[in-house]
Chain A
Amino acid sequence: MYDLISNLWLGMGVAATPMNIFLCLIGALVGTLIGVLPGIGSLATIAMLLPITFGLPPVGALIMLAGIYYGAQYGGSTTSILVNIPGESSSVVTCLDGHEMAKQGRAGPALAIAAIGSFFAGCVATVLVAALGAPLTSLALLFGPAEYFSLMVLGLIFAVVLAKGSVLKALTMILSGLLLSMIGSDLETGAERMTWGIPELSDGIGFVVVGMGMFGFGEILRNLENPGSREIINAKVTGLMPTLPDLKAAAGAIGRGTVIGSLLGILPGGGAIIASFAAYTLEKRVSKNPSRFGHGAIEGVAAPESANNAAAQTSFIPLLTLGIPPNPVMALMVGAMTIHGIVPGPQVMTKQPELFWGMIASMWIGNLMLVVINLPLVGMWVRLLRVPYRHLFPMIVIFCCIGVYSLNNAPFDVTMTAIFGVVGYWLVKHDFEPAPMILGFVLGPLMEENLRRAMLIARGDATVFLTRPISATLLALALFLLVLAVLPSLRAKREEVFTE
């Protein structure tokens, strides 16, 4: 306990320098802006802004990028409530009740409760990251290659189970991702693999290229398909403060949402989107009067918004302690860390404590800033939402292009991004989820490395994954999950959750 406080104090010292506070503010503001604007997600934004962080010190860069991620969770709710379009995919469910509340003239309380819920969840998650950091790190030191491999298998299976749609198709997506990640030079022998003699491919395909193509450009192509109508609530947002009954009703929901979000954030393959869905479903289950949901129930705003913010923050835990990115955004953080010469994993905490704790402390500061600055800024965000999409998407495209190009100053990367944009669009047309593929792509090299090492240590004996206890447990868990997901009863329930 004493350690925890002294560590957080160290972190505060790092995070509270004027420079880092400023970067945190910029990150949180940009994140909110991105969250407010529909049609561009946090993944594409972080990818776009990576070049900006080149000139910053590592701590500052990571503080800013983290700010973008959780800031986006705040901003997404604003659009959901006021326009009935999710600004961020993790606030899809917030539309259901949030927009209803706005229609009833209670946009103010809805926005406020979303912010309060997010802030509470953010505080709890910050403490959780700090508390779980040390024990998980020591656990990670027990891990050998076999355990790491099994853990990643478990993570990928999680991604399959939590993805919507067919389990089989999600599995094929993961394997396509793994296969794509094999392109480029082999780490051990240096042999060129599947490059077809193209020299630009010998370094492999960059993660930013794949992510930006499938999530940035693919998303734009999809959005152009159905322009959709935007009915912005025109009435002035008045009476921001929720009433006492409102707060009472929402308190339980915020608590439950925070717990669910924190749990799902830690699990590999989880993340903010799943968390918000799960929290909403739970809230509906435990409610005495479920019929109110969808007609402006304040719990329906409080729970998912708390959950997605909690998940956004706890998803840093596996990254910082085990070095395994649990979702695509975290994978991008790996990229950002490597650019600054940091290898994510258990050694970050011991070797660079000021980085680890500074980042955690900054999350709390960022959350505080968000809740203070966000509500007064609602008017500005609303004005921004009136910018028609036909002017918005060319801007997104040009920023993405410049962002990708400036990573390596390579036009080839931009061309590849265009190709992956088409691939992303094609995948959605055929009802494949791009998220598991990205996760497979990110974990591919790590998985292969650990698989090879484990096999070499065990002298080619593949049973090593089953004879080492931790590894066997992880694999058994993965198998159990997979069986559960394929079982008809659960499948029906999953579909129910996603169609709601």
Chain B
Amino acid sequence: MSDATPSGDWTRTAAARRQYNLVGGAILAVAGLVLLSTSFLLHNPVPLTVRGAVVIFIAVGIAISLGLLRVQNPQDVYGGMALILLSLVAFVASNDLPGMRGFAFGPGTAPRLFAFTLGLLSLGVVVGGLLTAGPDISGYKIRGVVFIIGAILAFAATIRPLGLVVASFTTLVICAAAAEDVRWKETLVVAVCVTAFCCVLFPYGLNLPFQLWPRFFQLWPRFW
């Protein structure tokens, strides 16, 4: 709700739109294909209706990609399609869970109930986006995403084997690169200060169990 919400009027040229749809539709279709092939690897057979829905989903993705469907409101069409995919994934994932037993809910009942409703409503969003015009999706700030997410992943990977000092310094430096107006000298000074602050506050000030320095016998990174 801040003023930074970038959902303003953002318009692309017709050619750029076509290209966006080409790539976007292809991504959707590939994601659907991955889901379809996963459904064959599961022990319990996935019902035909679910598989059919996935196939239709792939078809729609291809149609968008080839420009056969007119995407009037890209925000709604892609947003809705992604949520339909989410509900299909939920159907496949909850496939092996037992449903109703008599009048008692099984573990699979509620997930399938919610997934079904989500799919239905998302379909409404997609259809709405195909019929009524809306603003384009504004460009992603790739630099920000790469460095911020990279910094967080770096923290996850280094905190266990390398300890808090290395992890927080690395994270701070990678993170700072996300800003367009990064100034490296200042950044390094700030990073040193903040690292020192963290290393005093969390393990000593708050008595949280943090290991400060690297454990040299376990140097390979782990993301989990």
Contacts and interface: CB of A to CB of B under 8 A. Distances in A.
A9 interface: no
A119 to B, nearest CB: 25
8 contacts: A175-B114, A176-B83, A176-B86, A388-B181, A391-B186, A405-B159, A418-B153, A429-B75
Interface in A389-415: 389-391, 393-395, 397-399, 401-402, 405-406, 409-412, 414-415
A179 to B, nearest CB: 5
B92 to A, nearest CB: 9
Given A221-B144, A428-B6, A459-B103, 9 more contacts: A175-B118, A182-B114, A222-B6, A394-B175, A394-B176, A427-B79, A430-B76, A451-B105, A452-B110
Interface string B170-206: 0110011011111100110011001000100010001
Contacts of A166: 76, 125
Interface string A376-397: 0000000000001111011101
Interface string A420-464: 011001111111100000000000000010011001100111000
B222 A411 contact: yes
Interface in B105-125: 105-111, 114-115, 117-118, 121-122, 124-125
Contact of B5 (A55, A169, A428, A448): A428
Contact of B148 (A175, A186, A412, A421): A421
B6 A406 contact: no
Interface in B69-119: 75-76, 78-80, 82-83, 86-87, 90, 93-94, 97-98, 102-111, 114-115, 117-118
Interface string B45-87: 0000000000000000000000000000001101110110011
Contact of A429 (B137, B160, B194): B137
A52 interface: yes
Contacts, number: 242
B172 to A, nearest CB: 5
Nearest to A427: B79
A188 interface: yes
Interface residues of A, number: 81
B31 interface: no
Given A390-B183, A411-B157, A451-B105, A228 B93 contact: no
A178 interface: yes
Nearest to A453: B105
B218 interface: no
A414 B149 contact: no
A194 interface: yes
B175 A398 contact: yes
A217 B110 contact: no
A133 to B, nearest CB: 30
A393 B145 contact: no
* Pairs A-B, 8 closest by C-beta atoms: A460-B103, A430-B79, A186-B107, A175-B118, A194-B93, A224-B144, A414-B156, A390-B179
A414 B155 contact: yes
A220 interface: yes
Given A395-B194, A415-B223, A406 B1 contact: no
A58 interface: no
A26 B52 CA distance: 57
Contacts of B110: 182, 448, 451-452
Given A176-B83, A418-B152, A164 B1 contact: yes
B101 to A, nearest CB: 10
A225 B180 CA distance: 10
Given A175-B117, A409-B209, A415-B223, A398 B171 contact: yes
A86 interface: yes
B153 A415 contact: yes
A172 interface: yes
A226 interface: yes
Given A168-B125, A432-B79, A394 B141 contact: no
B217 interface: no
Interface residues of B, number: 84
A275 to B, nearest CB: 12
B141 A200 contact: no
Interface string B136-151: 0110110111001101
A200 B222 CA distance: 13
Interface in B1-55: 1-7
B3 A85 contact: yes
B149 A193 contact: no
Contacts of A461: 103
A176 B119 CA distance: 10
B121 A175 contact: yes
Nearest to B177: A394
A95 B206 CA distance: 37
A223 interface: yes
Contact of A217 (B4, B6, B148, B164): B148
Contacts of B183: 390
Interface string A202-229: 0000000000000001011111111110
A2 interface: no
Given A221-B145, A225-B144, A451-B105, A401 B180 contact: no
Given A52-B206, A406-B210, A191 B152 contact: no
The interface centre, meaning the residue of B75, B107, B179 with most chain A CB atoms within 10 A of its CB, is: B107
B77 to A, nearest CB: 9
A414 B4 contact: no
Nearest to B7: A431
Contacts of A228: 3-4
A401 B175 CA distance: 12
B216 interface: no
B143 to A, nearest CB: 8
Contacts of A412: 156, 223-224
B181 A227 contact: yes
Interface string A343-355: 0000000000000
